[in-house]
Amino acid sequence: MKVDTIDLSKFNQAATILEKIHEHRKRNPTTRSEELYYELMAKHFREILAAEDAGKPFIYYSMGIPNEIFEAMGIVAMEYDMAAGAIASVLKAHEEGTDAASKLGIKPEICSAQLLPIGFFSKGWFPRPAALIYTNLSLCDNVSKNGHLLGELYDIPTFFVDRPYYWWYDRGVEYMTGELEDLVYFLEEHTKRKLDYDKLNEANKLSMEQVKLIREIHALGMATPCPMRARAATQAHWLYWLYAGRQEGINYFETFRDELKELVDQKKGVATEEKFRLISLFTPPQHQMKVLDWLENERCAAIVSEPYYFRWEEWIPDPSKPLESLARKYYHEPYYRWYGKLSESLDMAVNDALESKANGAVNWFNSKCRMGGAVAKIMKDTLKEKVGIPTLTFDLDMLDPSSATEKALKEALEEFLAVLALTPGGNKN
């Protein structure tokens, strides 16, 4: 099936709603960083539409492709899995997207994060790009397969960046560098833009500064009481992927860091009378952010650690080897380490739990994620053995917006906190 008709009304509508949310946040402020989040999200959608209107080449890419390369080539680029999730959220189009994918024969047990782009592309909701780039999230075959299907739907060229699985060895870095070199060749061929290595070094330098800020944010977020709203972590995650190598990313993370530092200096936390300090072990349900607010505001519980977002290793790019520096960045980035070798994610969880003084863990396990399911019990047992804390493991669709899911989440969390309160050391007050 090839999509002949492109209808941008939904894409435009999503951009407009994001702009309206930004204006609402300006009139009814929560934090400056949250206001910036909606401003930059709306801007990102508008950049794609502006490129479409001007007839300039733009591309889509999956999470994990280094945005710095696009910046150095002057190519507007959008992370399509993030954009599909945002569209589903603001337009309440989750069911419409999954139904459209189902009509193509896509099985419902496929992860929603990979299923929704297929559904929305099949309906022609995205502008048609010059090309699409995708990669693998370690062992996730859904991530590594959907890009090819999206390319077929839109009849556009695609390129797969094959990221090596094993960590910290020279052959892997050499292989990844070669993949990025091939990606540059592909982009130059299909966009007629050349890579400017001076601009690439500039973008890498900006990304290095962002990584430094995120490492500061990670440390501040584990303070007692916790100064970081749980929903802010996800927002920071998406903006890092969208604005790596850009000054706007620096501005956002500086604002976020300064907000946290001010609260830490004042010894203020986000949870009402913080009693429970929880570490998160999986990407929280993206369309149930109000549950996280409820935890903080009504149940005195703070999410004090999300290692897959913030536990960066130090990354210093080498200006004489900019593409190799980006290849090495894969080995420092926490999201890829978390979903890579099991020993990496276990170490990250244990260290964050100890450093944050967490007294419980929540695994928002995505029932459609075969990787997450395979390690859920090992993660739970390891935290109990090495840190002495219990874990609540969910079984849910991470993009399900239904009220039934919200109710089930709250009921399970209520029971877990009640048990935690009776556990020695479980109630921090």
Q: What is the pLDDT of residue 6?
A: 97
- Closest listed residue to residue 66, CA positions, set 247, 255, 333, 318: 333
Structure tokens at 310: 């913030």
Q: How far apart are alpha carbons 77 and 126 in whole angstroms?
A: 13
Q: Please give the helix or strand (H or E) that residue 277 lies within, else none.
A: strand 276-280
How far is Cα 155 from Cα 176, in angstroms, rounded to an integer?
A: 27
Which residues does residue 160 pair with via DSSP β-bridges, in sequence order? 134
Q: Which amino acid is at 63?
A: M
In whole angstroms, what separates CA 203 from the centre of its chain?
20
- Compute the C-alpha angle 246/251/256, nearest 5°: 125
pLDDT (tens place) for every residue of the chain, 429 residues total: 899 999 999 999 999 999 999 999 999 988 999 999 999 999 999 999 999 999 999 999 998 899 999 999 999 999 999 999 999 999 999 999 999 999 999 888 788 888 999 999 999 999 999 999 999 876 677 777 889 999 999 999 999 999 887 766 889 899 999 999 999 999 999 999 999 999 999 999 999 999 999 999 999 999 999 999 999 999 999 999 899 999 999 999 999 999 999 999 999 999 989 999 999 998 888 888 899 999 999 999 999 999 999 999 999 999 999 999 999 998 889 988 888 888 989 999 999 999 999 999 999 877 777 676 778 899 999 999 999 999 999 887 777 777 668 888 999 999 999 999 988 766 555
d(CA 344, CA 360): 20
What would you measure as the largest C-alpha separation in the chain, in angstroms? 64
Q: How many CB atoms lie within 10 A of CB 156?
A: 16
Contact 301, 276 (CB under 8 A): yes
Structure tokens at 403: 């009220």
- What integer pLDDT is reported at residue 427 of this predicted model? 57
Residue 38 is predicted with a pLDDT of 97
376 CA to centre of own chain: 20
Give residue 393's Cα distance to chain centre.
Answer: 20
Question: What span, in angstroms and rounded, lies between the C-alpha atoms of 335 and 324?
Answer: 19
Contact 54, 127 (CB under 8 A): no
**Given the structure tokens 């706007």, which residue do they identify?**
248
DSSP for residue 331: T
Total residues belonging to the chain: 429
End-to-end CA distance of the chain: 59
pLDDT value of residue 108: 81
- In this structure, the number of other CB atoms found within 10 A of the CB of residue 173 comes to 18
Q: Which contacts (CB < 8 Å, 24+ apart) does range 178-181 have?
A: 179/327, 180/66, 180/69, 180/323, 180/326, 180/327, 181/323
CA distances from 145 to 120, 148, 367 (A): 16, 6, 19
The pTM assigned to this predicted structure is 0.94
Tell me, what's the pLDDT at 426?
A: 61
Question: Which is nearest to 361 in space by CA: 386, 337, 393, 335?
Answer: 393
Rounded CA-CA distance 45/18 in Å is: 9
**Structural tokens at position 386:** 């090495």
Rounded CA-CA distance 395/200 in Å is 42
Peptide bond into 225 cis (omega under 30): yes
